[in-house]
Amino acid sequence: MAFSSLDIKGFDYVQHYVGNARHSAYYYARLYGFDIVGYMGPETGVRDRVSYLLNRESLTFTVTAAIVPDHEIHQFISQHGDGIREITFEVVDVYSAFEHAVSKGAEGFKKPFTDKDEHGIMIRGSVKIYGDTILTFVDRSKYQGLLPGYQAYEGPQTKLQDTGLKAVDHIVGNVEEGRMDFWASFFENATDLETFIHFDKGDISTKFSSLVSKVVRSKNTSVRLPINEPADGLKKSQIEEYLDVNYGAGVQHIAIETDDIVSSIRAMRANGVEFISTPASYYEVIGARGDGIDESLAELEELDILIDRDERGYLLQLFTQPVNDRPTLFYEIIQRKGCEGFGQNNFQSLFESIEREQAKRGNL
């Protein structure tokens, strides 16, 4: 069977490798509104790691830590710090997706395998992508649970205010200078995605730094993967800072979809999530971008929420501060009202804000 991008149903779970899984589980439960639904560890017969399964609507994270020395998880976090190890596509047929990817040059990481438990059968197979990240194809059509290997979590739920977060919208990778085209072609060939937007030098830049970016997505738009590489600037770009402190390529941010960004951001701020600040001047020069929107501009300004639009509609978005010890991974909260873009007109103010933070860390 030939593999086509239409066989990609969407993003599935995201796996984080972390230093302390229990702490990370509480962080995402309390600040981001996840339910802790599953647990894996010595009590469930797994001797080398502890993992928690977190869920909110279609959004599923696992946070996993090693509990024995010299483990591959330690190697990952020794190199990169806490970060994203695994991203996943839900597909119709894992075998054809995997075989297609490998035939187009992807390096296999784990051949298709089957897990069976009381919830049914799940099939998965993984290939290597940028940095130490793996991409896993998941077939859950015969599986009624969330993920195999986890026992129902019976500890306390520590959720604060609910956040309304519901699904992954896009996952962004930062790759080394000169490697963006390689990875865009990789996803085009190996996973049948197509290039949707290309930002060249000068499209997105401040006085100090700029980036070049390509967005690949499936034809049915169920998955979208922007890929950034650093571009020359007077000072170190945010992509370069990421590559330096992450010691290599990796996932830069995950955009999470909500149906009501005003309530989501209000709840997340109350829960203690830190967001990047938006310059006051942003709303003064918002002009036509703010016309005809359903939300109150004053409320968006109060919460620092950014607006962008294309010919199809508009989107609202806001970016968190980096969530780990190193300034690597962060999140974007996004509400789309027809717009298929990524907030490119906001990148300028985003850049200026990030550069203020970089300057505080002495990395600009």
Tokens linked to 182: 């390689």
Q: In whole angstroms, how close is the CB of 325 to Fe ion at the nearest point?
A: 22
Pairing of strands 108-117, 49-56: unpaired
Q: How many residues bind Fe ion (CB under 5 A)?
A: 2
**Residue choice 36, 123, 255, 307 for contact with Fe ion (CB under 5 A):** 255
Give the SS3 label for residue 259: coil
Using CB atoms within 10 Å of the CB of residue 227, give its burial: 0 to 12 exposed, 13 to 18 middle, 19+ buried. buried
Whether the CB-CB separation of 201 and 218 falls below 8 Å is answered with no
Question: What distance in Å separates the CA atoms of residue 8 and residue 314, rounded to the nearest whole number?
Answer: 25
Asked whether position 306 contacts Fe ion by CB under 5 A, the answer is: no
Can you spell out the DSSP letters for 28-75? HHHHH--EEEEEESGGGT--SEEEEEEEETTEEEEEEEE-SSS-HHHH
- Shortest CB 255 distance to Fe ion, Å: 4
Q: Which is nearer to Fe ion, 147 or 239 (CB)?
A: 239
| Residue number with CB closer to Fe ion (257 or 332) | 332
Q: Classify residue 220 by its DSSP letter.
A: T
Q: Closer to Fe ion by CB, 8 or 255: give it.
A: 255
Please state, in angstroms and rounded to a whole number, the distance separating the CA atoms of residues 169 and 167.
Answer: 6
Smallest gap, in angstroms, from Cβ of residue 100 to Fe ion? 27
Site stretch for Fe ion (CB under 5 A), options 67-75, 210-218, 260-268, 328-336: 328-336
Q: CB-wise, 114 or 221, nearer to Fe ion?
A: 221
Q: Which of 352, 324, 355, 186 is nearest to 253 (CA)?
A: 324
Q: Which is nearer to Fe ion, 101 or 225 (CB)?
A: 225
C-beta of 123 vs 350, nearer to Fe ion? 350
Residue 332 is a binding residue for Fe ion (CB under 5 A): yes
Q: How far is the CB of 226 from Fe ion (least distance, A)?
A: 6
Region from 135-143, 271-279, 327-335, 351-359 binding Fe ion, contact rule CB under 5 A: 327-335
- Nearest Cα neighbor of 17 from 95, 109, 82, 92 is 82
Pick the piece of the chain touching Fe ion (CB under 5 A) from 8-16, 99-107, 289-297, 326-334: 326-334
- Nearest Cα to 212, choosing from 249, 237, 190? 237
- Decide whether 252 or 358 has the Cβ nearer to Fe ion: 252
CB of 127 to Fe ion, least distance (A): 23
* In the complex, least distance from residue 260 CB atom to Fe ion, rounded to whole angstroms: 19
Task: With contacts defined by CB under 5 A, name the span among 77-85, 120-128, 251-259, 301-309 that binds Fe ion.
Answer: 251-259
229 and 249 in contact (C-beta within 8 Å)?
A: no
Residue 301: CB minimum distance to Fe ion, A: 21
Token pair for residue 212? 């070049």
Which residues are near Fe ion by CB under 5 A? 255, 332
